[in-house]
Each structure stands twice: as structure tokens, then as C-alpha cells.
Amino acid sequence: MQFDNTEVAFKHKSNTELKQAKWLFSMFNKPLLVKYGPSATAFALRIGLPLKSMVKNTIFRHFCGGESIDDCGKTADMLHKRGVGSILDYSVEGAEDEKTFEANVKEIERTILEAQKEAKYPFAVFKVTGIARFQLLQRASTGDLSTKENEELNEVKSRIDYLCNAAVENQVRLFIDAEETWIQDIIDDMVFEMMKKYNSSHAWIYNTLQMYRVDRLEYLSKRIAKAKELNIKLGYKLVRGAYMEKERERAKEHGYSDPIQPTKQVTDDNFDAALNMCFDERDLVSICLGTHNEKSSALLASKITEAGLPLHDERFYFAQLFGMSDNISFNLAEKGYNVAKYLPYGPVRAVLPYLGRRAEENSSVAGQVGREMSLIVNELKRRKAL
């Protein structure tokens, strides 16, 4: 599987759009802008400076589908025409009150209903911290809750059950994202309860496994054994993991052993080992690779082909983020594999933390800036537009 065909990757982009993308990625090369840009923008918007349309026409437009589900429709149609599904990702972050959590549940439910209606949305997704207090999840992960907190946790469980039930009733597959290790145990437990309840004959509920963690392969192996015992199906989104620096810093600060693999290579090997394990157990486990890594994507693509399975076998999906790695998404889709992109949306101000993470990930500091930029430049050169 080759991912260097930039003509396929950028067929949907005009020369002007590609040049705008080139300019945007060149901005991520400015460390001060990447470091302080999102918080300075949030502040400027809060005090009423008219920056919204500037943000909306640049970084927001590149990485987000819009401010509402309706806004996302056109982008999702364009992706769908090219064989790529969209996963509506309501990306508001930061609020920690019950009213916001309830409103978020309703919004996530709307994404599930939209996925039921429209083939262009093959999955729905949510983060547990969008519907629960971080501190509560942290205390629950250490098993240390007061009566009042227990009641609050039961409320969180009801919300999760409500969303899983909505997904299954509407025959929509649902991802639950993975977060920091110190809140992940309770998330894993709650999601496994949902798998027991709803995945009796089909993988509707998918948890996420961060393979940069030293303990995940063993966890996966135990879950497979348990699922065999219970006669249920498993769904897993396999990712490398997004919180490495934070995880290492906290482990150091609190004096416990680093939960993250020692090197990138070990993370890569661990990710591929999980992929192999799930593939070998494919009658039981359905997977989605949430990755921008070409080698891992090629590995799954070749395993599907070598096993003589249909490329669109629903047990195997590939997913990337909107605005990134179009070379992987569209080259896989053109061959006939199942591909989807997370399509984040929400009010501009509320998605700024998400945009900040994309800027950081694509900055020269993280060493990723070359990847997207060189693809864009290659395509502009191929079109003789540079």
C-alpha cells in the first residue's frame, strides 16, 4: 500500500486552498505563536476583539467541520463522495458543570441520530470528560468516593448508558475516547460494562486503547479472554496516545513508574502487536486504527488483503483527523478500504483547545511539521502551481 499519491490525496482541494494550507502549516513553525496563540486568542475573543472570523477562515476551517452539525453536512458530503466517512466530534472542552454535561449528552445524542439517518456518518464518538467531572473520575479511579460522589458517579453511568442505548437502538457504532491514565481505569470499567450489556452479538460499543501505555497489551489479552468467557463481542479503537508529555511529567512529580513506553519504536511495536492480536481474534474483536502512521495503516491493509477478506469488511476501519493525513485516508478509500475522519465541530471559542493541540502536534517542536507540509508542497509542484 503506497500513500505518496498526492493527486489522490488532494483531489478535493483547489490550488488556492492548498496554498492556504501551506501558509497555515508554515505558521506552526513559529514556536511562540503555537505556544501562546490559542490562549491569547481565547482571551482576545473573551474581551470582544473581532478575531472570530480570522480564526474561522484559517485554522478552524482547516481542522473543523463548522460550528454545528448542520455546518458539517457539506464537508461530510464531499468526503463521502470520495469514499470517506465522517465521525461528528463535538469538541467543546473546559466546562465542568452539570448543566453543560446534560447539554453535551443531548448534543452527542444528536450526532448518534444523524449517524442513523446518514451513511456518511459511520460512527459516533464522545469523551467521558465531556459528560463528567474530571476530579470525580480521578477519585473513582482510585476507588475512593464519598456517598455523594457515588451518587454523582451513578449519574455519569446513567448518561453513558443512555448514549450507548441510543447508539444500539439506532444501530450506530459508538467510540469512547481514551484520556489520561489517572482517570482511565474507571472509564475502562464503565465501558466494559456497556460492552457486556450491548455487544452480545455485534460490536456496537468501542473502547479506545492507547498503545503508548506499557500495560495495554496485557489488558487487551485479558479482555479477549474475558469476552470469550462471557460470549460477547469487543470493539477497540487502537491509538498510540495523545498525552505523553503530561503522563511522563505527572509520573515524575508523584514518583511512580512511567506508564508510557520508553521509546517511540517500542510504542510502534506495541501498536502493531495489538493490531496483530485483534486481527487474529477478528471473529471476536472489531477494530478501528486511529492513526496517521503509514506503516501501521499499511500493515492492516496488507493483512486484510493477504487473508483474502473483502476490503470493506466492517470489522476493520481506518480513521484519521480531518485536516491531516489526507494521503492515508484517500489512498486507502480509493482502494476500497473502510475509512473515516473525525470531523470536530463546536463554537469557535470552545474548540480552541482542540486547535491548539493540532498546532502543537504539527509544530517543528513536535517534529511533525514536515510530514503534512511536504505532501502539500509536492502536490503544488505536481500541479505546477508553486
Ligand X SMILES: Cc1cc2nc3c(=O)[nH]c(=O)nc-3n(C[C@H](O)[C@H](O)[C@H](O)COP(=O)(O)OP(=O)(O)OC[C@H]3O[C@@H](n4cnc5c(N)ncnc54)[C@H](O)[C@@H]3O)c2cc1C
Of 21 and 128, the one with the shorter C-beta distance to ligand X is 128
- The one among 111, 181, 261, 327 contacting ligand X by CB under 6 A: 261
Q: Is 178 in the site for ligand X (CB under 6 A)?
A: yes
Near ligand X by CB under 6 A: residue from 120, 292, 315, 358: 292
Q: Contact with ligand X (CB under 6 A): which of 91, 208, 327, 338?
A: 208
- Minimum CB separation of residue 239 from ligand X in Å reads 4
Mapping DSSP to helix (H, G, I), strand (E, B) and coil, where does residue 163 land? helix
Q: Give Cα separations from 96 to 56, 103, 199 (angstroms).
A: 25, 12, 30
Of 126, 342, 345, 354, the residue at the interface with ligand X (CB under 6 A) is: 342
Shortest Cβ 209–ligand X spacing (Å)? 9
Regarding 364 and contact with ligand X (CB under 6 A), the answer is no
Q: Tell me which H or E stretch contains 50.
A: none
Q: Where are the alpha helices (DSSP H) in the chain?
A: 6-9, 15-27, 31-46, 52-55, 61-63, 69-81, 98-117, 134-141, 147-169, 181-198, 216-230, 244-254, 264-280, 294-306, 326-335, 352-361, 369-382
DSSP annotation of 344 reads E
Q: Which of 30, 228, 246, 264 binds ligand X (CB under 6 A)?
A: 264
Say if CB 247 and CB 254 are below 8 A apart: no
From CA 207, how far away is CA 238, in angstroms rounded? 9
8-state DSSP, 321: E
Contact between 242 and ligand X (CB under 6 A)? yes
Give Dmax over CA atoms of the chain in angstroms.
Answer: 67
Measured from the CB atom, the residue of 109 and 268 that comes closer to ligand X is 268
Instruction: Work out whether 239 is an interface residue with ligand X (CB under 6 A).
Output: yes
Q: Which residues in 134-163 contact ligand X (CB under 6 A)? A: none
Distance in Å, CB of 242 to ligand X, minimum: 4
Q: CB nearer to ligand X: give 102 or 258.
A: 258
Residue 241 interacting with ligand X (CB under 6 A) = yes
Q: Is 344 in the site for ligand X (CB under 6 A)?
A: no
Under 8 Å CB-to-CB from 340, ≥6 apart: which residues? 84, 85, 86, 87, 122, 123, 288, 317, 318, 319
Which residue bears the cell 469476552?
227
**CB of 256 vs ligand X, minimal distance in Å:** 17
Q: Which residues ranging from 296 to 325 are in contact with ligand X (CB under 6 A)?
A: 319-321
CB of 76 to ligand X, least distance (A): 15
State the nearest-atom distance from the C-beta of 30 to ligand X, in Å. 21
The distance of closest approach from Cβ of residue 320 to ligand X in the complex, given in angstroms and rounded to an integer, is 5
Buried b (16+ CB within 10 A) or exposed e, 183-217: bbebbbebbbebbeebbeeebbbbbbbbbbbbebb
- Closest residue to ligand X: CB criterion: 290
> E strand or H helix at 206, and its extent?
strand 205-210
- For 125, list phi and psi in degrees, rounded to 5: -150, 150
Pick the closer one to ligand X by CB: 199 or 267: 267
Q: Is 244 in the site for ligand X (CB under 6 A)?
A: yes
List the interface residues with ligand X, window 16-75 (CB under 6 A). none
Binding of residue 3 to ligand X (CB under 6 A): no
The CB-of-308 to ligand X minimum distance in angstroms stands at 27
Indicate the SS3 state at residue 235.
strand
Backbone angles phi, psi at 48, to 5 degrees: 90, 10
Contact stretch for ligand X (CB under 6 A) within 19-27, 58-66, 139-147, 242-250: 242-250
Q: Based on CB atoms, which residue is closest to ligand X, 222 or 248?
A: 248
Taking the C-alpha atoms of residue 56 and residue 246, their distance in angstroms, rounded to an integer, is 29
Total number of residues that touch ligand X (CB under 6 A): 24
Locate cell 510502534: which residue?
A: 268
Nearer to ligand X, 175 or 204 (CB): 175
Q: Is 267 in the site for ligand X (CB under 6 A)?
A: yes
Nearer to ligand X, 290 or 346 (CB): 290
Binding site for ligand X (CB under 6 A): 177-178, 208, 210, 212, 239-244, 260-261, 263-264, 267, 290-293, 319-321, 342
